[in-house]
Amino acid sequence: MTGDIIDGKRVADEIRGELQARLERLRARGVNPGLTAILVGDNPGSQLYVKMKGRACEEMGMAHQTITMPKDTPQDVLLREVASLNRDPKVHGILVQQPLPPQIAVEAAVTAVDPRKDVDCFHPDNVGRVLIGTPRFAPATPAGVVELLVRSGNDPAGKDVVIAGRSNIVGKPLAALLMQKAPKANATVTVVHSATRDLAAHTRRADILVAAMGAPQTIRADMVQDGVVVIDVATNRIPDATKKSGYRTVGDVDFDAVKEKAKAITPVPGGVGPMTIAMLLVNTVRAAELALE
């Protein structure tokens, strides 16, 4: 079997299209949703992500701004900036791009954002709400994975889902989403990680495998069963002398080999990436709606 390629850009466009009616209702009430991204330092990947988030807002006619701060910014300076954005009624969504430089504690940054403006869904209040099944926002990348599954005809209900990776951004919140007794969920979830004794023994049992480890091309064809559905969340840059940039971007999955066994598989790039941005737009619209309640 050669798997279908799940087109993240097409699904993301579909979701963006569905947002138009909500945007029109908000604009009829004099509100245009606005997103502010804070970028600390000069990580090239982060610069690219933040630029793409801004461009996506522009394409939707939504307001956006990026606040860039030098990489030696003290934590209290960042926190004061966040506090000022929390008070600004024109700013509906705030995100602090990760990774952060070492003098800034991730926990301090995510806790500083007003939970009603936390479009990343990283604040402990919002993370807890996802876990207990009363979400305010959906975590963007995990929600993007769920939408890709459902809209490609691979509803996770009743399926054995194996998630490789336990980050606070992807693995843990995705496990929380998929284990809920709720539509688009109801899966049997296993999370494997760096201390898992036999990774392949778990991945081979997966009906749906989500790779989010940040370990380039680690999932090989002998680690999956025929008919598996594979979602590759990772974007790893590996050296490639044939490219002008000197690198290319690959996922955690050996795509060419695994696609031969898969029922469906996402490419990197063009799979989960566009979905993260689409779900961030959904959360920004939701934040603007919440501000009116």
- From residue 226 to residue 265, the character string flagging contacts with ligand GUN as x (rule: CB under 6 A) and all else as - is ----------------------------------------
Cβ atoms 188, 156 nearer than 8 A: no
List the one residue from 36, 73, 97, 152 that touches ligand GUN (CB under 6 A): 97
Cβ atoms 283, 121 nearer than 8 A: yes
Can 225 be counted among the known catalytic residues?
no
119 Cβ partners below 8 Å, 6+ apart?
A: 35, 92, 93, 94, 95, 137, 140, 280, 283, 284, 286, 287
Residue nearest to ligand GUN (CB): 98
Cβ atoms 156, 184 nearer than 8 A: yes
Question: Closer CB to ligand GUN, residue 229 or residue 275?
Answer: 275
Cβ atoms 201, 193 nearer than 8 A: no
Can 259 be counted among the known catalytic residues?
no
CA separation for the pair 253, 266 (Å, rounded): 10
Contact between 223 and ligand GUN by CB under 6 A: the answer reads no
Question: Closer CB to ligand GUN, residue 154 or residue 168?
Answer: 168
Contact between 207 and ligand GUN by CB under 6 A: the answer reads no
Which residue in 98, 117, 120, 263 is the catalytic one? 120
Contact between 283 and ligand GUN by CB under 6 A: the answer reads no
CA separation for the pair 165, 103 (Å, rounded): 25
Can 53 be counted among the known catalytic residues?
yes
| Residues classed as catalytic | 53, 97, 120
> Footprint of ligand GUN on this chain (CB under 6 A)?
95-98, 120, 140-141, 169, 276
